[in-house]
């Protein structure tokens, strides 16, 4: 009973527990205008939250092994609820604590993927992982698209209304977590005794690939918005620029919905080889944004719009394929370890690229930061090629 219910409920739980809904649409606006934080304080707060999560990665992993996946997601959703409350009602020190809780929450909630995998294995439906998880991504993309459209009017009425909505959805996610059951909860010790905790070479390379891919998507879209503002500020007034930037965000969210919808239809036909195509598209998208910055004007904006939308379209397919690959090749505690390392790798990559971008922007225009990202995208292509070669060698060994 639990196993079938968990699989049915998973897309709905995953879609509301993956982030602080509503807050993500007005985060910088709320923190700067209501909490009075400066841009540098917001950047510092994010860095501290990420660093704490990275520093505690090993003890957190041991705790997850001790309490199990099922309790881990309950801890995570409770921390997410605490984070929403502290963001809404806390002073500046408590806002910093809210950020730390937020990153710790996402770390624990990541174990939901392992629960889905265990339930699918138990029902002999392991091939359905990407289809079910893509459905949760689609729901999340639709939610965030709607939230982006309504958050600004709600914020203008009262800046706390979106935060009340955020707390409500975080509370629903916490309650929901008690209906998500891990069928392996009584089997994990047996599973762990029968296997090695050592990660295979392809898994290690896949985790290394995550250091760059998702962080490149995040920092490139952030700097694309800044480039658009810089490019248009001499030709248009502030109100028009706001509409141009909002157009970028809306196009990105629409592309994300379309991408996940299409991926959900054809996910079972995609293999790890699709990662190479995605990485080439990552590089081409960043180059499109760079071309837009060089061309400037409306033509330049169109190039940035295309690159920006393509980047958003790559976020979910890449993560689904990588997680599916990790889960196919790990079990029990090894899967927990691999998933947590993958999450940590993304956090480290984001810190690294933000630091590099900050250094570059101290002396050079934004377009040079994007050129730097394009160089890292080329490095990512090389890493993916090495991953595919490693998978091929590993498969050949398993046949002999």
In this prediction, residue 355 carries a pLDDT of 82
Q: Count the helix, strand and coil residues of the chain and give each as a percent rounded to the nearest 5.
A: 85, 0, 15
In this prediction, residue 189 carries a pLDDT of 45
Contact 286, 373 (CB under 8 A): yes
In this prediction, residue 122 carries a pLDDT of 81
CA distance 366 to 293: 9
Of 337, 365, 341, 369, whose CA–CA distance to 353 is shortest? 369
Tell me how crowded residue 268 is: count the other CB atoms within 10 A of its CB.
12
Residues of the chain with CATH 1.20.1250.20: 2-178, 201-399
pLDDT at residue 33 above 70?
yes
The per-residue pLDDT for range 352-370, each reduced to its tens digit, is 888 888 788 778 888 898 9
Mean pLDDT of the chain: 84
Contact 35, 92 (CB under 8 A): yes
Using a pLDDT cut of 90, give the percent of the chain over it. Answer: 30
Following CA atoms 270, 276, 282, 285 in sequence, which dihedral angle do they give, to the nearest 10 degrees?
Answer: -90
Contact 169, 65 (CB under 8 A): no
Of 257, 94, 87, 96, whose CA–CA distance to 166 is shortest? 87
- Residues with Cβ within 8 Å of 330's Cβ and at least 6 positions away in sequence, in order, are 199, 203, 337, 338
pLDDT at residue 377 above 70?
yes
DSSP 250-307: HHHHHHHHHHHHHHHHHGGG--TTHHHHHHHHHHHHHHHHHHHHHH-HHHHHHHHHHH
Would you tell me which CATH number, out of the four given (3.30.70.20, 1.20.1250.20, 1.20.910.10, 1.10.600.10), belongs to the domain 201-399? 1.20.1250.20
Prediction pTM value:
0.78
CA distance 168 to 189: 36
pLDDT at residue 76 above 90?
yes
Rg of the chain over CA atoms, in angstroms? 21
pLDDT at residue 84 above 50?
yes
The per-residue pLDDT for range 105-136, each reduced to its tens digit, is 998 998 898 888 888 888 888 778 878 888 88
- Helix 161-176 / helix 129-157 crossing angle, nearest 10 deg: 150
Contact 269, 278 (CB under 8 A): no
SS3 state of residue 141: helix
The per-residue pLDDT for range 7-19, each reduced to its tens digit, is 889 899 998 998 8
In this prediction, residue 239 carries a pLDDT of 66
- Residues with Cβ within 8 Å of 301's Cβ and at least 6 positions away in sequence, in order, are 228, 231, 232, 244, 292
Query: How far separated are the first and last CA of the chain, in Å rounded?
Result: 40
H/E element holding 78?
A: helix 57-89
Contact 213, 318 (CB under 8 A): yes
Would you tell me which CATH number, out of the four given (1.20.1250.20, 3.30.70.20, 3.40.50.2020, 3.90.1280.20), belongs to the domain 2-178? 1.20.1250.20
Q: Give the angle 361-362-366 at the CA atoms, nearest 5°.
A: 20
The per-residue pLDDT for range 251-281, each reduced to its tens digit, is 888 888 888 888 777 766 667 788 899 999 9
**For 43-52, 156-165, 212-221, which range has the lowest pLDDT when averaged over its residues?**
43-52
């Amino acid at each position: 009973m639990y196993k079938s219910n968990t699989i049915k409920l998973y897309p709905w739980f995953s879609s509301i527990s993956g982030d602080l809904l509503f807050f993500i649409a007005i985060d910088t606006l709320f923190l700067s205008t209501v909490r009075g934080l400066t841009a540098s304080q917001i950047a510092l707060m994010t860095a501290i939250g990420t660093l704490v999560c990275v520093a505690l990665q090993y003890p957190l992993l041991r705790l997850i092994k001790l309490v199990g996946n099922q309790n881990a997601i309950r801890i995570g959703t409770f921390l997410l609820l605490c984070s929403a409350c502290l963001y809404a009602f806390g002073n500046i020190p408590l806002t910093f604590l809210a950020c730390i809780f937020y990153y710790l929450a996402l770390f624990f909630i990541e174990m939901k993927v392992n629960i889905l995998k265990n339930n699918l294995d138990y029902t002999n439906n392991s091939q359905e992982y990407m289809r079910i998880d893509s459905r949760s991504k689609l729901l999340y993309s639709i939610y965030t698209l709607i939230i982006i459209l309504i958050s600004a009017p709600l914020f203008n009425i009262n800046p706390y209304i979106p935060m009340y909505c955020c707390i409500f959805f975080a509370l629903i996610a916490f309650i929901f977590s008690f209906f998500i059951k891990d069928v392996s909860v009584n089997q994990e010790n047996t599973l762990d005794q029968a296997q090695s905790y050592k990660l295979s070479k392809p898994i290690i390379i896949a985790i290394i690939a995550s250091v760059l891919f998702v962080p490149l998507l995040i920092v490139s879209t952030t700097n694309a918005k800044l480039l658009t503002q810089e490019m248009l500020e001499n030709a248009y007034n502030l109100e028009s620029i706001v509409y141009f930037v909002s157009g970028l965000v809306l196009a990105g969210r629409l592309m994300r919905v379309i991408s996940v919808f299409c991926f959900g239809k054809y996910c079972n036909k995609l293999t790890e080889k699709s990662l190479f195509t995605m990485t080439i598209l990552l590089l081409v998208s960043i180059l499109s944004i760079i071309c837009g910055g060089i061309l400037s004007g409306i033509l330049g904006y169109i190039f940035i719009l295309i690159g920006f939308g393509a980047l958003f379209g790559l976020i979910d397919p890449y993560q689904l394929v990588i997680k599916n690959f990790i889960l196919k090749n790990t079990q029990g505690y090894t899967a927990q370890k691999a998933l947590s390392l993958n999450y940590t790798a993304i956090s480290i990559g984001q810190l690294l690229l933000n630091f590099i971008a900050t250094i570059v922007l101290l002396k050079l225009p934004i377009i040079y930061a994007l050129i730097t990202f394009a160089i890292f995208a080329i490095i990512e292509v090389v890493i993916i090629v090495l991953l595919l070669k490693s998978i091929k060698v590993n498969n050949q060994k398993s046949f002999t």
